[in-house]
Amino acid sequence: MMLTVENTNAWLLSFADKLIENKEYLTDLDTAIGDGDHGNNMARGAKMIKDKLNSQDFSSVQDIFKAVAMALLSSVGGAAGPLYGSAFMGMAKQVATDDNSVDAVIKAGLESVQKRGKAVPGEKTMVDVWVPAVKALEEGKLSKDAIWEAVKSTKDMKATKGRASYLGDRSIGHIDPGATSSGYFFETLLDSNILD
Ligand SMILES: Nc1ncnc2c1ncn2[C@@H]1O[C@H](COP(=O)(O)OP(=O)(O)O)[C@@H](O)[C@H]1O
Ligand SMILES: [Mg+2]
């Protein structure tokens, strides 16, 4: 349960690849309940992440998280850019403390997202994936099933935060795009050897 420069780099590169691979799916999800830009937004951020991580040698995990935060803040735009940017800044701060376990670091990321966006569980946002994922991490039982269950749970929710909230009841019946991109974040964490 330790983050190293090597495994963090590998994890976030595969997160970026997943976002690029699934750009069209994220676009489709955001077309149903938003403005259809989440796929392009995140793929643009992902390309920036790859450029930064591949062009530098990092000497600390904190520097990696900071570089990813800056990449996302400067390139993603929309609601998701500042929210993911905050998550990575929160994780960057936490990883430099004594409590730098993966679960503490991710929990700090969630706290930053909630500080920035004020969303709580049940509002059909990325928070609906981060909250159960943090809990599962703390209990040592994060699984792909748990992650994608959480993503799917947003389908029946009515959005009360973000652009999808303008649709009111018409937001019900669609999976949330930001919850889905967060699903890739946790799925690639599981695929890395970080939790082993
Ligand atoms: N206040 C919020 N807190 C957490 N996540 C949010 C919030 N507002 C929006 N989101 C997330 O952002 C996603 C939309 O991102 P994106 O389409 O890139 O931005 P925009 O809504 O500006 O077009 C939503 O699917 C949702 O998960
Ligand atoms: Mg959008």
The answer to whether the beta carbons of residues 141 and 176 sit under 8 Å apart is: no
- pLDDT tens for 165-193 read 999 999 999 999 999 999 999 999 999 98
For ligand 1, atom 24, name the residue with the nearest CA: 178
> Do the domain assignments include residue 196?
no
Number of separate domains in the chain = 1
Judge whether residue 132 has pLDDT over 90. Answer: yes
* CA–centroid distance, residue 38 to ligand 2 (Å): 5
DSSP per-residue codes, 127-151 = HHHHHHHHHHHHTT---HHHHHHHH
Number of C-beta neighbours around residue 142 at 10 A: 23
Q: Is 34 in the pocket of ligand 1 (CB under 6 A)?
A: yes
Q: What is the mean pLDDT of residues 18-47?
A: 98
- pLDDT tens for 72-114 read 999 998 899 999 999 999 999 999 999 999 999 999 999 999 9
Domain assignment of residue 99, given as a range: 5-191
Q: Is 29 in the pocket of ligand 1 (CB under 6 A)?
A: no
> Do the domain assignments include residue 101?
yes
CATH code of the domain containing 149: 1.25.40.340
Residues in the chain: 196
> Do the domain assignments include residue 16?
yes
Query: What is the CA 177 to chain-centroid distance, rounded?
Result: 11
Q: What percent of the chain has pLDDT over 70?
A: 99
Q: Which ligand is nearest to the CA of 36?
A: 2
* CA–centroid distance, residue 133 to ligand 2 (Å): 23
- pLDDT tens for 38-74 read 999 999 999 999 999 999 999 999 999 999 999 999 9
Q: At residue 193, what is the residue type?
A: N
Q: Is 128 in the pocket of ligand 1 (CB under 6 A)?
A: no
Number of C-beta neighbours around residue 161 at 10 A: 18
Determine the atom of ligand 1 nearest the C-alpha atom of 119. Answer: 3
Banded model confidence at residue 1, pLDDT cuts 50, 70, 90: low
End-to-end CA distance of the chain: give it in Å, rounded.
7
For a substitution probing ligand 1, which of 27, 29, 38 has the most ligand atoms within 8 Å of its CB?
Answer: 38
DSSP per-residue codes, 62-104 = HHHHHHHHHHHHHHT-TTHHHHHHHHHHHHHHHHTSS---HHH
> Do the domain assignments include residue 27?
yes
Q: Is 126 in the pocket of ligand 1 (CB under 6 A)?
A: yes
Judge whether residue 116 has pLDDT over 70. Answer: yes
- How far apart, in whole angstroms, are the C-alpha atoms of residue 54 and residue 58? 10
